A and B are shown apart, each in its own frame.
Chain A
Amino acid sequence: NRITLVIHGGAGTITRQNMTPEKEKAYTDALNQAMQTGYAILKQGGSSLDAVEASIRVMEDSPLFNAGKGAVFTHDGRNELDAAIMDGKTLKAGSVAGVTTVRNPITAARAVMDKSEHVLLVGPGADQFAKEKGLAIVEPSYFHTEARYQQLQKALASEKGVVTDQLNAPTKAAAPAAPGKSKTKTKAGKPQGYAEPPIFVEGRKYG
């Protein structure tokens, strides 16, 4: 019997310097709870699909992680959630992207896999599908947490009103232009069309 469960709660600027003992304990307890929940299913002969879905639901319900409750905010101050699940036995898969009213997006992904002929549903259609399949639907405000909202305010403030094309602006300092090749300079000494690099929060850039 080789039943095994592995989980993650996100990667990023997680260092001892920016962690407190209380926070470390809170995260450790939440990860343990997620693991014990999934492992109990495996021990009772449950499927790996049920185990991963149950573990993820625990972390979606915890405000500590960027998933479900406690998700980060978009530029418009909304929570848009994504999730995916895949079965190694059949290669079936289901996922949702950009949902705003489904309490557990991973369960919506599972419903797409089990109860539709599709793989990926996005936006209001995915919310509608989840509602029709009887999943738990919540007000968008359910996902709000003050900590994440403050992260967004900080990001917006640091943009100083500069609207950046955040997908193409350099997030790492661009290599200095070779001498003689620098673009025409504006008064401020920045190359033409320079956009302030955006601030990627929640561990900077990580999903």
Chain B
Amino acid sequence: TVGAVALDQYGNLAAATSTGGMTNKRYGRVGDAPIIGAGTYADNQSCAVSCTGWGEFFIRATVARDVAARVEYQQVPVAQAAQATIDKVGKLGGDGGLIALDPAGNIAMPFNSEGMYRGYIKANGETKVLIYR
């Protein structure tokens, strides 16, 4: 699974996710990636989110929307909201990670698996690519 979230110069957020799904899957199984609110969500009033994880748990916990709702209703920073949601999924038994970005350009990239391919570029051109915990 791959994903991206972006903030443009007009202050608009966007989120996108693409995946090949799960090896050896059957019966037309679909994970969280294409489900809006589970693996992908964006709202200028809160944040943009793209997830990668154990799809069944990310769907049931509506992970992408959960992060945005925490920011919108609890007015907490996106990093705090994202970590709280990942912790909630972990308690359910699921694992994986997500990337999130708010209208102020604040970033969150929490995960509870062993690793996650991730990276960011900020307005000043600062670039970072990370793989391990």
- A residues whose Cβ falls under 8 Å from a Cβ of B: 1-16, 19, 24, 27-28, 31-32, 34-36, 38-39, 42, 45-49, 51-53, 55-56, 59-60, 65-68, 70-76, 79-89, 91, 93, 95-98, 105-106, 109, 119-120, 122-123, 143, 148, 151-152, 155-156, 159, 166-167, 172, 198-203, 205-207
A2 touches B104 (CB 8 A): yes
A-B contact pairs, 20 of them (CB 8 A): A1-B9, A2-B103, A4-B122, A6-B6, A6-B100, A8-B3, A35-B127, A42-B6, A48-B14, A82-B34, A83-B17, A83-B33, A98-B30, A105-B18, A120-B36, A155-B23, A199-B24, A203-B113, A205-B54, A207-B19
What is the bound-complex CA distance between A9 and B3, given in angstroms? Answer: 7
A35 touches B120 (CB 8 A): yes
Chain B residues positioned under 8 Å from A156 (CB to CB): 24
- Min CB distance A143 to B, Å, is 8
Chain B residues positioned under 8 Å from A148 (CB to CB): 20, 23
A6 touches B131 (CB 8 A): no
Interface string of B30-49 (1 = CB under 8 A from A): 11111110011111100010
- B residues whose Cβ falls under 8 Å from a Cβ of A: 1-36, 39-44, 48, 50, 52-56, 58, 93, 95-101, 103-105, 107, 109, 111, 113-123, 127, 129, 131-132
Most chain-B Cβ atoms within 10 A of its Cβ — which of A3, A47, A79? Answer: A3
B107 touches A6 (CB 8 A): yes
A71 touches B20 (CB 8 A): yes
Given the contacts A8-B50, A74-B21, A83-B16, A166 and B40 also touching, CB distance less than 8 Å: no
Chain A residues positioned under 8 Å from B34 (CB to CB): 82-84, 95-97, 109, 120
Given A35-B127, A42-B7, A86-B15; 13 other pairs, CB 8 A cutoff? A2-B104, A4-B122, A6-B120, A28-B129, A35-B120, A35-B121, A75-B26, A85-B15, A106-B16, A106-B18, A151-B23, A155-B23, A207-B54
